[in-house]
Amino acid sequence: MRRLNARKRDDSKIPNMDPTKLHVRPSSRPNLFARTNSKNSKSKWWVSLAALLAFVLFLSSLFVFARNLRSSLKRRYGIVIDGGSTGTRIHVFGYRVEGGYGVFDFGEEGLASMKVNPGLSAYAQHPDGAGKSLVELLEYAKSRVPRDQWGVTEIRLMATAGLRLLELDVQNRILQSCRRLLRSSGFKFQDEWASVITGSDEGTYAWVAANYALGTLGGDPLETTGIIELGGASAQVTFVSSEPVPPEFSRTVKFGNMTYNLYSHSFLHFGQNAAHDSLREGLITGEFNTAKTLQKGSSVDPCTPYGYSRTSESEALSPGFMVERNRYLSTFHSKGNFSECRSVALMLLQKGKEKCTNENCSVGSIYTPKLRGKFLATENFFYTSKFFGLGPRAFLSDLMVAGQEFCGEDWLKLKKRYKLHDEDDLLRYCFSSAYIVALLHDSLGIGLEDQSITVATQVQNIPLDWALGAFILQTTAAIESGPDQWDWIVAIFGYELPTKLSLIAVSILLLFIAWSVSKWRKPQLKTIYDLEKGRYIVTRVSKC
């Protein structure tokens, strides 16, 4: 019998839902009562380790990136190898780029150099072995430039008068030997960066270095300072002339917003050592009338102190003075006399003047405009002045007095007084003192008491070296033209770019794997409505 008072079910209050249809919604709430097993714990441990390793690799790469970025913005490097006549010197320069301009630091940190002997020209008989002479220099450069900067650091070899005196074929073979080594040096190098520069280029670069050091580069051309160099094989004269200069002697330098029109010429064979050798040849042949012959095969040498006896083989001189290629000996009788030595030196400097086609030919038949403005006298001008203990200004009159005393002194007394000096070097100071006076005063017209010329080897701790001027011009031009895109990337990420990119790729891959595994191991939850219990419940969905 049905109960009359039974409650009647109100179907309208029951939610209209399909009991077979599951309403799934993801839940971020952890299942606090879910059972864990050792397998899950082990998996989570490996995931954590992989994520930690990836994070460490990523931070390391980020640190290296930041360090190299700071380095690329603060300091860069350039290398110039000076292939001189008496030795080869490597210069390592440091600089920064700020606001699109090069900021050069030529102090202890920004400039380092090293020299080896002999020079590249000494390999004329064995040109293929010239490159080996650079090995020690390259090792020095690598010790000064950070390894991650090698690939973007340009290295250039510029040979000067020593190689210019050799035959073209010999020059090329020496350069090829050097190029083979420079290609494998690790530094940035192109074959055309190893070359023999002209004497005018050498003088122009020296002028740039001098005026940069003086702070006049970039200013009024008439306020700049000229430079006169006395090297071993050649002498250079470079300055801003106030008169028109023939094209073959004219050089143009652009720096900043200024353009400078220079007279620049290199007097080949008129360097101190080359001139001294020419003097000896002239004495042997009797070309100089002041050298009176005492007997057959003997000559008086007014540029060597009294008491020195030297036997010279003519094979050490130029081949043109060999008689049927037979060796003969000629004894020089020393008669140190400054005035006679100066006269002989002047004859040497004026040789060929009858061929001059211009009004002004100060040295031989070479056009030289009238000197104007201030001048710096460098290299052997400085070394000779320093040997005699002279001041930097008005040194010519003092040099005459010192030279007269030195040339007239007995050789044995000089050796005792200057016992720490090399004998060959000591012998040259009589000639060099007379030669300098003959060149600067008798030929170029600089007064003996002129205050406008100063002997120097550096200005404000900046060396007056043509290699420095070459570096300034080339670096400034490169900055103005804009950096190469690949160089910029390498400068930031470092020289070992492929290795660092691989580390970054591995870090990203490990992070992705860790994320994927953690996602796969994370339980998938669903929410369903339980009809019997009359409420929603959360349950785990098993993975297939």
Q: Which residues are known catalytic residues?
A: 202
Are the C-beta atoms of 164 and 89 separated by less than 8 Å?
no
Strand partners, 525: 540
Helices 395-407/423-437 angle, 10° precision: 130
Q: For residue 392, count CB atoms less than 10 angstroms from its CB and return exposed for 0-12, middle for 13-18, buried for 19 or more.
A: middle
What span, in angstroms and rounded, lies between the C-alpha atoms of 156 and 79? 6
| DSSP calls for 288-355 | STTS---STTEEEETTS-BT-EEEEEGGGS-GGG-BTTB--EEEEEE---HHHHHHHHHHHHHTTGGG
- In the block, tokens 């301009």 appear at 101
Token couple for 178: 């050097």
Task: Name the residue among 401, 403, 402, 427 with its Cα closest to residue 414.
Answer: 427
Is-cis flag, bond preceding 523, omega within 30?
A: no
Are the C-beta atoms of 133 and 82 separated by less than 8 Å?
no
Q: For residue 537, count CB atoms less than 10 angstroms from its CB and return exposed for 0-12, middle for 13-18, buried for 19 or more.
A: exposed
Are the C-beta atoms of 400 and 437 separated by less than 8 Å?
yes
CA 370 → CA 80, 239, 240, 242, 263, distances in Å?
33, 10, 11, 9, 10
Token couple for 137: 């220099």
Token couple for 51: 């994520």
What span, in angstroms and rounded, lies between the C-alpha atoms of 319 and 462? 41
For 534, phi and psi rounded to 5 degrees? Answer: 70, 30
Task: Name the residue among 520, 540, 345 with its Cα closest to residue 434.
Answer: 345
Task: Name the residue among 128, 188, 177 with its Cα closest to residue 155.
Answer: 188
What span, in angstroms and rounded, lies between the C-alpha atoms of 202 and 265? 9
CA 325 → CA 132, 299, 318, distances in Å?
32, 21, 11
Task: Name the residue among 253, 206, 260, 261 with its Cα closest to residue 234.
Answer: 206
Q: Extract the runs of DSSP E, i.e. beta strands, from 137-203.
A: 154-159, 194-196
